[in-house]
Amino acid sequence: MSRPRVKSKARGAGVTTVVVLRLYIVGGAPNSVQALVNLEKICQEYLKDGYKLEVVDVLEHPRRAMDEGVLVTPSLAKLSPGPTANVVGNLSDKAKVLHALGLKGKGT
């Protein structure tokens, strides 16, 4: 079962570019669950609705995850806008996540 939960709520014109993210997780594994929670929190806080997030469960799509270069889980990929970035871990280190996604300073 695929569950690409795409949140796309780019409201109105002139809104800044949409950040496209993809999170690879493993079903109910603690780190994966935590990563999802942490990411949604960060997105809510810093991107509001200006982001698209796709969540891929590696257990269900191992071939795809492999093709997309996933190694460890959880793993977050920022696909656009450039530069792209990869973050691994349960995303509990908020500062690092923000830095990697280029979101530092925004919303503060």
Partner 1 sequence: MYRKKAAIPKLLPKMATGIEGFDGLSRGGLPRHRTSLLIGGPGAGKTVFALQCLVNAVRRQRARGIFVAFEESPRQIIANGATFDWGLASLAEKELFFLDAHLSPTLVKAGDFDLIGMLAMLTAKKEEIGAQWIVFDGIDVLLTLLQDPVAEMREIYRIRDWLADNAFTAIITAKLENRASEAAHYGFLQFMVDCVVRFEQRQDDRVSAQSIQITKYRGSGHSAAQFPVSFGPSGIEVGAAEPAEIRRGASSDRITGGIERLDAMLGGGVFRGSSTLISGVPGTSKTTLAGKFAEAACRRGERVMFVSYDEAAEEIVRNLHSVGIQLKAHVKSGLLRMYSARTEGVSAEEHLIKLRSLIREHQPRCLVIDPLTAIAKAGSLGAARTVANRLINMVKDNGITLLMTALSETDDPRAEATDLQISTIADTWIHLSYLVRSGERNRALSIVKSRGTWHSNQVRELVLSKSGPTLTDVYTAGGEVLMGTLRWEKEAEESARKGRDRAQFEYKRRELQFAEAGTRAQIKALQLDLRRQRAELALYSGENEVRNVSSSERENELRRRRSANPADVSSRKSGNGAAK
Which residues make up the interface to partner 1 (CB under 8 A)? Answer: 24-26, 29, 31-32, 34-35, 38, 58-59, 62-63, 65-66, 69-75, 85-94, 96-97, 99-100
Q: How far is the CB of 100 from partner 1 (least distance, A)?
A: 4
> What dihedral angle (degrees, nearest 10) is formed by the CA atoms of 66, 72, 18, 42?
160
Q: How far is the CB of 19 from partner 1 (least distance, A)?
A: 16
Q: How far is the CB of 7 from partner 1 (least distance, A)?
A: 21
Please give the Cα distance from 28 to 35 (Å, whole number). 11
Q: Which long-range contacts (CB under 8 A, 24 or more apart) does 65-71 make?
A: 65/24, 68/22, 68/24, 70/24
Please give the Cα distance from 76 to 1 (Å, whole number). 20
CA 91 to chain centre: 10
Q: How far is the CB of 55 from partner 1 (least distance, A)?
A: 13
Closest to partner 1 by CB, 12 or 83: 83
Closest to partner 1 by CB, 10 or 71: 71
